[in-house]
A = this chain, B = another copy of it.
Amino acid sequence: MLIVMEQSVPEERIAGVIEAIEAKGLRAHPIPGASRTAIGITGNQGPLDPAEFENLPGVVRAIPVTQPFKLVSREVKREDTIVKVGDCTIGGGAFCVIAGPCAVESERQTFAIAHRVKAAGAHMLRGGAFKPRTSPYSFQGLGREGLMILSRARRETGLPIVTEAVDTESVDLVAEHADVIQVGARNMQNFSLLRRVGRTKRPVMLKRGMSATIDELLMSAEYIAAEGNYNLFLCERGVRTFSNHARNTLDLSAIPAVRRLSHLPMIVDPSHGTGTRDKVPPLARAAVAVGSDGLMIEVHDNPDRALSDGPQSMYPDQFDALMADIRAIAPLVGRAV
């Protein structure tokens, strides 16, 4: 159920509705909008009766929400969510490019790449300090030391930092250093982690799981929003299919499908989505043209020596060329780079 309040309604009216909701043993989620406030209700078993709420002072309408996800649904909030990260913007007509190495390997490497991607026009720096790896014997990231390097790279370049939290234990540490907390594909249904990042104040980027439907992705986003964190955007990174010419099958139809159902921005990761460097530029261009809100791209100054995901990392020169393509295509689909 979504309660739509009158425009410019005084705060105490909102507080009164929240109180009434909580008195019924339900949970109220105020969602401030540009013109008016709405209040999402969750926690009900079965449908609620709109009449129970429409008589409360200040309420315009009570709208039943038919989707299993509510707070992230477009039924509940019609306008696009816009996530602000420092001077950068994700959603609402902006096109945001996040670039950097798969893993933070050293200060030298991180700074070198950060300067290169900034010069090329990237808006944020990505880099993994905690790496979820299929094998326990693979490089697992520099951990805390990696986060410190990222912090210093931000100081050096001004680029906000996107980095992954792989477990509840490291969320606070990551939140301290990161501008955007990434939840990776393998953790898309790690519900404890979702709740935990939902309780931070940091923007969150949630990646689609390898075999997740759009509904499941939005339900996972709902876990984060239900804890009060609406600074949230999604990332398509390819799904697992029989198709064997690429590491994953990048599902670009997810972009219009999500836009229809949800107000959350969604970017695309063609590096994981394809798994090989030569396929990243064409799929990155396609991701712009399909109407996504941004890209996340792996760039390495020496991919052949990268400690992880070398084959899918672009050379800096390739990235320069790609940024030129992005700048040309984005305006044609109503996006400002």
Contacts and interface: CB of A to CB of B under 8 A. Distances in A.
Nearest to A291: B282
A219 B186 CA distance: 14
A334 to B, nearest CB: 11
A7 interface: no
Given A134-B216, A241-B249, A167 B166 contact: no
A318 interface: no
A54 to B, nearest CB: 22
Interface string A183-206: 000110111110100000000000
Interface stretch (A96-104, A121-129, A254-262, A309-317): A254-262
Contact of A253 (B136, B279, B285): B279
Kindly name the residue among A132, A187, A245 whose own CB sees the greatest number of chain B CB atoms within 10 A: A245
User: Size range of the interface on A?
Assistant: 35 or more
Question: How many copies of the chain does the oligomer comprise?
Answer: 4
A243 B214 CA distance: 8
A120 interface: no
A213 B226 CA distance: 33
Kindly name the residue among A191, A251, A253, A273 whose own CB sees the greatest number of chain B CB atoms within 10 A: A253
A207 B241 CA distance: 19
Interface in A192-244: 192-193, 195, 210-211, 213-214, 216, 219-220, 222-223, 226, 239-244
A333 B284 CA distance: 12
A112 B257 CA distance: 31
A252 B252 contact: yes
8 contacts: A135-B222, A166-B191, A167-B190, A211-B240, A239-B241, A246-B253, A250-B253, A285-B290
- Ordered nearest first, which 6 A-B pairs have the shortest CB separation? A211-B211, A167-B192, A289-B289, A286-B286, A285-B289, A286-B290
